[in-house]
């Protein structure tokens, strides 16, 4: 089995109103030290479309993170560390989930927790009593849903129904 790998710190500040939670960074992301670094992953394109700002992979990573925060969107993962061979969520073993207490304690304006895919959504019950939640189709290329269909559902993060 692969050795334990740690994920990334949260991209949050006190002004976030929306927190997007993924499962765990891909191998490509871990190597690059960036959330959603795998170019076939549609995360940055989806969020860019939703907020009306292009968040292209070629854009400086720090600038993409600043743009998220400017639009009151935070980003983190459910799993803080795990063993995994490859990048598939189904291969996650010996997971140690992140402790959300500090982030939630500081994010007083948080109203919506959005889950990027079903694996991340396994944690939905701990957020549901206090926040509005939405499970989004995974931005991963492993989810073969058409981009336009994904985008329709991702738009819920700015106008939940």
135 Cβ contact partners less than 8 Å away, ≥ 6 residues apart: 114, 115, 117, 118, 121, 124
User: What are the residue boundaries of the structural domains of the chain, listed by start?
Assistant: 5-157
pLDDT digits (tens, 9 = 90+) for 71-130: 999 999 999 998 888 887 777 889 999 999 999 999 999 999 999 999 999 999 999 999
112 Cβ contact partners less than 8 Å away, ≥ 6 residues apart: 17, 18, 19, 131, 132, 133, 134, 157, 160
- Alpha-carbon span 102 to 109, nearest angstrom: 14
Structure confidence at residue 155 as a pLDDT band (50, 70, 90): very high
- Span 5-157: which CATH code? 3.40.470.10
Q: What is the pTM of this model?
A: 0.94
Active site residue 143: no
- Which candidate in 41, 42, 98, 116 is catalytic? 41
Backbone angles phi, psi at 120, to 5 degrees: -60, -35
């Amino acid at each position: 089995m692969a050795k334990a790998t740690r994920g990334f710190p949260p991209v949050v500040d006190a002004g976030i109103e929306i927190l997007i939670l993924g499962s765990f960074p891909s191998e490509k992301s871990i190597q690059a030290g960036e959330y959603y670094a795998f170019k076939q992953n549609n995360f940055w394109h989806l969020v860019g479309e939703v907020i009306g700002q292009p968040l292209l992979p070629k854009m400086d990573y720090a600038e993409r993170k600043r743009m998220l925060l400017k639009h009151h969107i935070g980003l983190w993962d459910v799993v803080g560390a795990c063993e995994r061979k490859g990048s598939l969520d189904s291969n996650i073993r010996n997971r140690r989930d992140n402790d959300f207490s500090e982030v939630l304690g500081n994010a007083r304006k948080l109203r919506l927790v959005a889950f990027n895919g079903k694996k991340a959504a396994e944690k939905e019950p701990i957020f549901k009593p206090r926040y509005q939640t939405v499970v989004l189709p995974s931005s991963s290329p492993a989810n073969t849903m058409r981009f336009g269909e994904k985008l329709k559902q991702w738009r819920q993060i700015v106008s939940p129904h």
